[in-house]
Chains A and B, each alone.
Chain A
Amino acid sequence: MNEKSKTLLRNRPSLVVLLWLAGIALLLAFPFLINQERYILHVAIVVFFNICLATSMWLIWSLGFVSFAHAGFMGIGAYTSALFFLRLGLPLWFGVIAGALVGALIAMVVSLPLMRTRAVYFFMASWAVGEVIKRIFAYYRGFFGGWEGLFRIMPPKLGPLDFANRTAYYYLAMVLMVLIVLVVYRLNKTRTGWIFWSIHEAEVLSSHVGIHALKYKVAAFTIASALAAMTGALYAHYHTYINPKSFDIWTSEFALVHIIVGGLSTAAGPVLGAVFLTIIDELLRPTEFYRIVIFGVILILTVLFLPGGLESIPKRLRLRLWKLPEDKDTQKSIAGAFGKGRK
């Protein structure tokens, strides 16, 4: 909290905006920097989807819990959009909004009972929700297509622009990614974001100072699930094929792993984690059998030796290399992270 308030006080909005713009410009120019190489664009789109999932999951985490139903809500978005396209002929633009609405509605209804549970019980209850969502897609074969899934979910067209072109889809996914990161980032900075963190730190205490914790928890869960559903809609129209297996617990778990490796305390964490791990996974592909083993080792090493995640690297560098600690608190926390000065 301390860290946070200082950042907020020292905020110079103009520079922040400038950096955001620089980042977006970089992303806009990216396809041309790599000469529109199609495979790399594909990896970039996958990275964007992973960022979307991890960032929206981090929004739930800012209230202190993790939802394993996240992939399920992504599936709700994907299926809504796919069915809009296949049954009604409506393109992605309707599907993504409808998906977000349906996702939000279901998330709200489910979260009311779900929020009665805590910590690891929540983890299991949300797992049950995600699993039931996935199984319902498989169970109603006539409507959802069952295990065989839905085919030919084509990307949309906009005037002369056909999003079947991968560069075009890159920009579409990028818009969604920037939108989600921006929403989560801004929300986290508002008063609501502060309330989220206060519930994270001490739910009982915050409810004693007049915060209606349940209301905020339901709100955060609903927003995050709607964002996941939007990601799902774009995912469906990109891959053109979906089946219930794409939305199983592993998808949620990978999003969680991205957050943990990236860092838990700021919105940069999920972004960094998703970028880093997705690319590592892709680079490891030629290692054949050893791919998953190496991935696991990297994961363990990051958790054990970089407890603050990737986002803590600049802080550590400042401390280690340039010996320029920000203040006593940070110094202490970093020393703690390095295993020094602990009892």
Chain B
Amino acid sequence: MTLQLTVQMAITGVTLGLIYGLIAIGLTLIFGVMRIIQYAHGEIYMLGAYFLYYWFDKWHLPYWAGFVMSAVVIFFFGAGLQLLLFRPLHGKDMLYSLAVSLALIFIISSAGIIAFGAVIRGISSFVTGQIRIAGAEWTFERMVIAGISLVLIIALWFLLQRTKIGLAMRAVAEDPETSSLQGINNRRIHWVAMGLGSALSAMAGCLMGTLMFIVPSMGFLATIKAFMIVIMGGLGSVPGALVGGFVIGFIDSFLTTLATSELAYIIGFVTIFVILVFKPSGLFGQAWE
């Protein structure tokens, strides 16, 4: 194993870890605050990416404006889903929210084929060029995307820890009844959290759509990754999502390069199983009874 190969694997691992972390934080927010299983997280991610595709590649409007617009539009879409579908199920068994989000997967991904066509597309890159570190390549595109992911993760952490609405969200997550006694409007916190989680997911979709390709069935892969990371890191924990992202990112990078992609995938799941056996609430998570 040469130095160049090691550096390359490390760079890929760091980039992937940050992107995976970004895919996962939206889910961890929704999980933590509302305690519903939003299984259609990846479908929201797909919608975000398609929005940017139409904005940038079809209507030829500026990239970053589209990135922000995608987040805004999906924020309201997510909030609407919460008000329309998930609120009536609040307080019921989490299986109901699981069933509704499963139905959303069916509807959104199949309607996506009808609306956007089944043709695979790609969002054009916003920057080109790359630098070379010890013989390993790191493109500006990946660098920027990793940077944005890191900024968004820190921003969410800051929001939760240092702002009033973040405090309210944590309070609702901790104990909904006491928080509403303290004058917090739980319903509002719920749809805001859902909207925010969806918007984060949409932004992840935009970045991944730029890096990779987009297709209506791309959502489920993101859902798998997001769930693996969120559960590993612990529900509702932003640092947990970041650490989980790094674990999965490094497994993907190192094991695929040194062994096979099949083994990387199996080891990823085995790792989660082992972590859950020794830390039943994830690495940084709160217990969920």
Contact = CB atoms under 8 A, between A and B. Distances in A.
Contact present between A and B (CB < 8 A)? yes
Among A114, A256, A293, A295, max chain B CB count under 10 A is at A293
Contacts of A257: 99, 102
B272 interface: yes
A128 B231 CA distance: 11
Contact of A289 (B89, B110, B266): B110
Measured as residues with beta carbon below 8 angstroms from the partner, the interface class of chain B is 35 or more
Majority-rule SS of B interface residues: helix
Interface string B78-111: 0000000100110011111011101111110111
Contact of A296 (B89, B103, B265, B282): B103
A139 interface: yes
Interface in A268-321: 289-293, 295-297, 299-300, 303-304, 307
* Chain A contact residues, majority secondary structure: helix
Interface in A99-119: 113-114, 116-119
B288 A120 contact: yes
A82 B266 CA distance: 24
A129 interface: yes
Interface in B238-289: 262, 265-266, 269-270, 272-273, 276-277, 280-282, 285, 287-289
Contacts, number: 125
B102 A299 contact: yes
A233 interface: no
Interface in A122-171: 123-125, 127-129, 131-132, 135-136, 138-139
A304 B85 contact: yes
B53 interface: no
Contacts of A44: none
Interface residues of A, number: 42
Given A117-B277, A300-B85, A304-B85, A124 B272 contact: yes
Given A121-B276, A300-B100, A303-B89, 11 more contacts: A113-B277, A120-B231, A124-B272, A128-B270, A132-B266, A136-B266, A260-B98, A296-B105, A303-B100, A304-B88, A307-B96
Interface of B: 31, 37, 85, 88-89, 92-96, 98-100, 102-107, 109-111, 113-114, 227-228, 231, 235, 262, 265-266, 269-270, 272-273, 276-277, 280-282, 285, 287-289
Closest CB pairs A-B (n = 6):
A296-B106, A296-B107, A124-B231, A299-B103, A292-B110, A296-B103
8 contacts: A117-B277, A120-B37, A125-B272, A128-B272, A260-B96, A292-B107, A293-B110, A299-B99
Interface of A: 66, 113-114, 116-121, 123-125, 127-129, 131-132, 135-136, 138-139, 253, 256-257, 259-261, 264, 289-293, 295-297, 299-300, 303-304, 307, 339
